[in-house]
Structure 1
C-alpha cells in the first residue's frame, strides 16, 4: 500500500519536471514565431499600399490626410515637389517644377503607410478659360506635356487657330513650348483672278545731216563720206588712208539731211487665274528665261544660269474669318534692257561676254479683302526722257548757222502698269451637277455648210439682227459661288 503511493508521486513529479523542461524550451520558439508573424504583417501592409498618382498644377498645393501619425517623408526629387507636414496626420504637397517624382510617407513603426507619385504639370486651367472666353466658337482641348501645352480640337478659321495659339503662349516660358494641333474647318481654298494691264508709249525725234565729198590725190581719185557728228574722226582717217592731197579743187559736197519722228504704242494684258490653299503660296509667270553668267567652275568653264523675266505674280492667301481673306501679293514686271547690260572681258581681254540686263518694276503689299472683293494696284508709272546733241566743235555754236552742224535726238518712253486682283473663296460643287464645257453644243459642219455657206460649225436657226438677241437669263462665264 505504501509503495504504490510513492510510485505514484514519483511519476507525477517526473511528469511535472518534463512539463517544465518542455515549457522552458518552447518559450523562445514561441517568441520567435511571434516576431516572424509581425514582420509578415508589416510587409503585407506595405504591399497593399500601391502607389497613387496625383496630378498637381505648377505652384499649386495638394492636401494629403492619414489615419495614423507620420514619422518620416522621403522625396525622390525635391526640385519637382516639396512636402510640408503641419500635423502628424496631414501633409501638404507643393508643385515646384514640371515632372514626376515619388513621395513615401513612413509611420512610427517604420512601415510605408502611403506611396504617392506626384505629377506636376503646367496650370492649363487658366489658359483653357482664357481661350474659351476670347475664342468662344472654338472647340479646344488643352493638355500639359512636361513644359509644353498641346492644343487639340477644331476651329472654323485660321484666325481662330492663331488666336488660340497666341493665348496659350502667354502661359509658357517660350513660344516654342506651344504645340498647335488644331484642325481648321470650312473653306480654305482661295481663287485669285488677276488682270495685269500695261500701256507703253514711245516717242523718238531725230534731226541730222551727212555729207559726201569727192576729191583727187596724187595717188588717184578718192571720196570721203562722213556724218557731221563725227566729221573730225572721219576726215583724219581719210587723210591717213589716202595720203597727200593735190591742189585740185574737190567736187561740190553732197549733203543729206535726215529727219526722223517715230511713235510707238504697246499694250500688254495678262489674266492669270490661280488657286491656293490658305497659308500656301502660288505663283504665275508670263515671259521667259534669259541666260546669264553664274560663275566659273574649277576647269575654267563658264556656268550659265537662267533668269526669269516678264510678268511674275506670287500671292499667299490666309482665310482669317468667314468670307474674309488676308492676301499678300508680290508682283514683278521685267523686260530685257540693253542699257543695263554688262560686258565682261575674259581670257586676259582677248574676248568678252555681254550679260543681258533687265529693267524691273515690282511691288509687294498685304491687304484684307472680303470674298469677292477687288484690289487695284496703280501708280506704277515710268517716264524716261533721253535728249542728246551731237555736233562739230565750235561750228555748232555759231548763231543760226550752227544748227547745220548739230544733230539733236530726243526720246521719251512712258509706261503705266495697273494690277487688278479679285479674291474668292472656292467651294466644291455638287457631284451630281453637270458642269458646262466649251465643247458643249458644238457640231462639226457638213460639206454643204463648209463649202457652200462657209461655216465652220453647224448653225441651228437664224438670227435676223444682233440687237434682237434675247438676254440670257442665267449666269454665264465662270461660275463663282
Structure 2
C-alpha cells in the first residue's frame, strides 16, 4: 500500500492532498538536489516535486502562490504545480538563502508528450520534434497531405507549438521541364499505345501512361526520347554473347513506333520550363482583331487569341512528386455565329489537378471534334492556324478516325541533376569556343573599337595601283 501511494503521489494522481497523503502513508516523493542558485525547475500541471534543501528550512517565498504551492515534509520542500505559468522561488535556511530560481509549469509532461508524438508521427518525413522549455515544438517542411494529420494528432495538447510548414515546392532549387507532344493519333494508334480511354465518356478525357520498373532479369532503358547503345543495360548473367535483346516499352518509343506506322502525326512538340510553384504557358494559334467603341467616339481594338493554349503550374514536394494544375484551352472561330460582321468563337477548356511522378506521362484528348473541321471550308483562315489547321485538313479526322491528343511529361531538374550538369557543360563549351575565336569579351569598349576599325577597313575601297590617276582613269 505504501508503494502504491508513493507512485500515485509522484504521478500527481492524488495532487489534491499531497501533504496529508505523504504524512499518512509515510511515502517519500523523489527528491532533487539543486545548487543554491539554479536556472529553472520545469514542472507540469499536477506534478509533485520534492527538493532537498541544505540545513533547516526557515522560510519559503513563491512569487505567485496560485501557480505553485509548497509545504515542508521531513525536512524537504514539497512543490505542487497547480496552474500553468512561470514564477520565482526563494528558500531560506539558518544561514540565509539556500535556494533561488524560477519555476515553470507546463500544461503536461513535455518529455512524455514528445515521446508519444515521436511514436505516432515519427514516420512523417521532414518533421522535427523538440522539447524547448515547457513546450514541445514541431517544425520542418512536410508533405501537404501530412499537415492535417499533424494538426489532428496535436489537437488538445496545449504544450505543443506547431511550426510545421507545408512543402509547396522548392522554387529556388527545382525546375520542372515539360515535354509536350501535340499529336493527331488514329483510333488504332491509341489502342497500340496501351492507354485505356473511356469509350463511353463524352468530352475531354484524361489518362496516364507510366514506364515499367525493371526486374532482376528484364531491365528498362532510360526514359528518354531515344535510346543509344551506351544506354543499353548490361547483358543477362549467363548469356553467351554481349548482345541485349529487349522490347521498347517507354511511352516515347511507342509514340515513335506509331509515327513510323502512320498511326500518329506530330503537330507540335514544344518544351516548357517552369520553376516549382511557377507558371509555364504555351500558345499556338493567333489573334483576331475585334474593334470596339472607345471614349469620345474613338475606336479601340481588342485582340482575341485563338488556337491551343496550355497553362501548367507545377509544385514539387520533397519526394519529387509533382502536383500539377493543367489548364488546356482550344478556341476556334465559329462561322455559324457572327455579330456585326465579327465571328464568334467556340472554346473548350479543361482544368485538371493531378499528382504524377517525374517521367510519367499525362494524356488529354477529346478537346476537338470532327464537326470543327467543317468550318475550314467556310472560313479559309482556319486552314492556316498552327496545329489546328493541319488537324482540320486531315481526312481521317474529318471521318472521326483520329483525335487530337496532348501528351505532357514532366522531368524535375535541380543543380545536382545530370541534365543540369550537361547544360552547364554545354554553356561552358560555347563560352570557351567564343573566347578561342574572338578573344576575351572584356573590356567591351576596347573590343568594340577594334571591331569597328576592322569593319571600316573592310568597307574602304581599295587604293589604285601606282601611276594610275583615279580622276582621269589613267
TM-score by length of 2: 0.44
**Which is richer in helix?**
2
Taking structure 1 as the reference length, the TM-score comes to 0.43
